[in-house]
Chains A and B, each alone.
Chain A
Amino acid sequence: MTDYRFIGKSTPRKDALDIVTGRTKFINDLTIPNMLYGKVLRSPLPHALIKSIDTTEALRLPGVKAVLTYQNAPEWMAGFPLHVRILDNKVRYVGDEVALVAAETEDIGEEALGLIKVEYEPLPAVYDVEEAMQPDAPQLYEQFPGNLLPRERRMFGPQTLQEVVFGDVDQGFAEADFIIEGTCAYENIPNPLPPEPPGVIASWEGTDNLTVWSASQGPHMFKVTLQRRMGATNMQSIGSPVGASYGSKYMSWQYVLPASALAKAAGRPVKLCYGKTEHLAAFTVRLGSRIHGKVGMKKDGTVTALSGDWLLNTGAFSEITQGMVAVGCGEAQLMIRCPNWDLKPKMACTNRTASGQVRGFGGQELKCALTPILTMGLEKAGIDPVDFFKKNYVKPGEGYYWRDGNWWVCNGIDYTAAMEKGAETFGWQEKWQGWLKPTSVKGAKRRGVGVGVHGNADVGEDISEAFVRLDSNGTATIYSGLAEHGTGQRSNICKMVAEILQLPLERVSVTPADSRVNPFEIGPVGSRGTYAIGSAVIAAAEDAKKQLFELMAAKLNVKPEDLKTEDGTVFVKGQTGTRLPWIKGMGYDRTLMGHGRFEPDFTLPNFMMIFTEVEVDTETGKVDLIRVVGATDVGQVIDPPSLTNQLNGCLGSAGIDSALFEETVFDTRLGRIMNPNMIDYKWRTFAELPEMEHVIHETPFPSHRFHAIGVGEITPSPGPSAVLMAVSNAIGVRMADYPLTPDKVLSALGKTVNAERRGR
């Protein structure tokens, strides 16, 4: 393995000093001169028409500068396909936007909300995905009869994947030794819940110059997707450091459009930052996912056919559900080797807070519902799930339909070695006692183990562009639209460039994530930072180095390919004694700009396996997560602590803990979320950490010159179904209802009267 100067070494994050001293400016830490504060009046009803709305008194309140309702708001539209009007005369969930206020202070804005008089005509509401598809169900959008979202054929090209249908399922079921049918749902709609609530500042200059500062995982995409919709021709989107996102703050027009509308109406900059209640009750949550599935299986565990309905509950609008379905459909094929598929998604709107993008992006939602059905077959066949995953997980030379609808063939690596090492580290062989059998029983405490697997072929998705500028003083500047959202990716691209140019890390920097400065960047999503963004940056650095060597070669009377550079000097290979600083070739009056671009490549699936051990108290029903072992192969570690941080991230952000206690509790009598605060929305504290260990293999990938791929996004995704399996094994009863709160465990053990749980 190559020994690099920076790659694979632990180096301090470039932004570390700012973070630990509190100097990092997150969106709500910024103020713009003359700035107003935006506030949102939200609907108390899940479904209603606005009969009348009177803003007279609010407008009279000193300090109020603009009030917008559906009557005077711009006709800006959002959602996929466009269906959400920024303010409408119909509200579709408790928390839907009814009116917007811009005021001199937040307090005045709040007061003004209370002065707006609204008369509603309540409409019947629907919350369940299958009830929403019934002929007599309340209808949310005129353009979506039956509340069904249309399939999307443009998002990822003309054949965007919207189902998995190939082979002959009838023949597959005929070949099966047994057929399993079942329903499983992952519908506790956990909130990714980054600590920083969503926020934005918008400012107009004239009618077509719009500047937006925002917490976004892909700030450049606001310019690409929103500029024209808002009538701007010159939008500047500036990304601040993101107080975490986990996918949720990506193309989030939910806060950008209202702030921009208010700024336009008031003629002043407007900051709109959600409060935590708004964040929990009116910002996007995970998709609801339910599968009625049928699996044909041979006695040896070979899957011969898989069919089913995949029902997706998007809530009140769809942010990008069709894209998540496309990726989820691809990811199902990576996990299960099966020649005959008929898996058909149906996406429906309902009257609860909307679902949107979250880490795991469709695949986690699918796996959490599909894996428990699949494992019923493994249980019947008596197959060890680790053996099943080893046999089934995609290997080099095997193919899959990916999100663009094309057939791609895996050009990556075989993950068997990582799986085996993971199993060994966890002690799987000793702990696995068979299906529905505990690992150990000690009085009322029963332990069980479970395993899950996940991976995507999105590490090489979409386009990234980057420039690398060399200055004659021996420094390099990366031009990238990459915002820092917690993974350390901005630091890591500096390491890549420092490695190529052999510059001290402190001499490499990145421009602010500003769309006016930087080339196209879709953002660090789908674990694409290392490969896709990295490749663009690497290409730009190589290009700049080539230009530098052409200039320096003339000074040294050698050919460019004879040269090397180190610490801002250039020398002939093998002659380290004679060095010329860059300025000798470049002069003081020249900068060099290298260009890099990455084109999509769906041939390198990544991989994450999670082993879990739980302890169930059969007297209280409480489930404790005792130990987690993650196993992966990343080709080449870029920054060891950043990688372990990402792997440890499997617990939160609507990951493993969504199988244990995390849920958005929904009251279907009122249509309200009952736990929109961080006391009632349960999360894991420092005092309740499981033991955590990771197996990280480094088998070189044919990706870029460092042979690395990313894995960060997917680390939570195999976890929830693994926990379900572990608890089922511990108590000897198959569990399929996320999250496994004590009431459900006790009920499964026959220790409670099985009262119907209200909600959701």
Chain B
Amino acid sequence: MTTTKQNPPHHTLTLTVNGENHSFVLGEGTHEVSPSHTLAHTLRERLGLTGTKISCDHGACGCCTVLMDGKAVLSCLLLTVECAGKEITTIEGLGDPVAGTIDPLQQSFIDHTAFQCGFCTPGIIMSAKALLKVTPSPNRIEVKEALAGNFCRCNSHYHVLDAVMAVAKKGEHQ
């Protein structure tokens, strides 16, 4: 009797990002996801979702903020393997890519020029999005508190606050 030689079972990981499922093989190979990889790294280097920025890689600046099950999280402090089965939304997942429309929050950032260099902007928008999901009509202080973990060095803060408040007031947020 002959035995069939079988490959060792792959450990795989499924991530849901912006509504799409992605399966990864776990391992240390060049195209695998290592248990040591952060979510930020996987989003950027495996999925090409470079809208999520890495600045401090240390949980101090908020540039890598994404939504996990609707809550703002720092993707540089999460291991990818921790995110299996979670719904991840990145900046690329806002708006409706099929219809080609953007989120009212994004439009408000455009209308208020609520950025300068724009590096920290995706993270700020994701933090603001998470706030508005829970608190659709925040006051200015609540917005400040919600964005207190987002580093902006160009000092676009004032325009950002105007942009978020404009959307909040209009009640365009669900």
Contact = CB atoms under 8 A, between A and B. Distances in A.
28 contacts: A10-B113, A13-B110, A13-B115, A20-B91, A21-B94, A22-B51, A23-B51, A23-B92, A194-B153, A195-B63, A195-B117, A195-B119, A243-B119, A244-B153, A244-B154, A275-B57, A276-B57, A276-B58, A642-B116, A645-B113, A648-B159, A650-B155, A652-B154, A653-B155, A677-B56, A678-B56, A685-B149, A686-B147
Interface in B41-65: 44, 49-61, 63
Given A687-B144, A687-B148, A20 B155 contact: no
Contact of B92 (A22, A275, A687): A22
Interface string B122-148: 100100000000000000000111011
A12 interface: yes
Interface stretch (A162-170, A349-357, A481-489, A534-542): A481-489
B38 interface: no
Most buried by B among A22, A648, A651, A679: A22
B148 to A, nearest CB: 4
A24 to B, nearest CB: 6
Interface stretch (A25-33, A285-293, A422-430, A698-706): A25-33
Given A195-B119, A244-B153, A276-B56, 10 more contacts: A16-B115, A21-B92, A24-B118, A25-B50, A194-B117, A195-B55, A195-B61, A243-B118, A244-B119, A678-B56
A256 to B, nearest CB: 20
B106 interface: yes
A689 interface: yes
A177 interface: no
A653 B145 CA distance: 22
B157 interface: yes
Contact of B144 (A28, A650, A677, A686): A686
B155 A652 contact: yes
A648 B156 contact: yes
Interface of B: 30, 34, 44, 49-61, 63, 90-92, 94-95, 102, 106-107, 109-113, 115-122, 125, 143-145, 147-161
A26 B125 CA distance: 18
Most buried by A among B52, B56, B116: B116
A646 B90 CA distance: 28
Interface of A: 10, 12-13, 15-17, 19-26, 28-29, 104-105, 107, 192-197, 241-246, 275-276, 484-488, 639, 641-642, 644-646, 648-653, 677-679, 683, 685-687, 689, 692
Most buried by A among B44, B51, B161: B51
A680 to B, nearest CB: 9
* For the complex of A and B, 3 pairs with smallest distance between CB atoms: A22-B51, A243-B119, A486-B117
B40 to A, nearest CB: 11
B63 A21 contact: no
A217 B149 CA distance: 27
Contact of A20 (B30, B121, B154, B157): B121
A217 to B, nearest CB: 11
A196 B55 contact: yes
Contacts of A20: 91, 102, 106-107, 109-110, 115, 121-122, 125
Given A26-B53, A196-B55, A686-B147, A19 B153 contact: no
B159 A644 contact: yes
Contacts of B92: 21-23
A712 B61 CA distance: 24
Nearest to A246: B153
A15 B148 contact: no
Contacts of A275: 57
A26 B155 contact: no
Contacts of A12: 110-111, 113
A487 B113 CA distance: 11
The prevalent SS among residues of A at the interface is: loop
Nearest to B103: A20
Nearest to A12: B110
B116 A22 contact: no
Contacts of A642: 113, 116
Nearest to A280: B56
Contacts of A195: 53, 55, 61, 63, 117, 119-120, 151-153
Nearest to A647: B155
A716 B159 CA distance: 18
Most buried by A among B57, B117, B151: B117
B111 to A, nearest CB: 7
B125 A641 contact: no
B134 to A, nearest CB: 17
A485 B117 contact: yes
Nearest to A715: B155
Given A26-B53, A244-B116, A686 B157 contact: yes
Contacts of A485: 117
A487 B156 CA distance: 11
A649 B125 contact: no
A26 B119 contact: yes
Contact of A21 (B51, B116, B151): B51
B65 to A, nearest CB: 11
Nearest to B125: A20
Given A195-B119, A243-B119, A648-B158, A683 B151 contact: yes
A104 B107 CA distance: 40
Contacts of B59: 679
Contact of A678 (B52, B115, B151): B151
Contacts of B52: 22
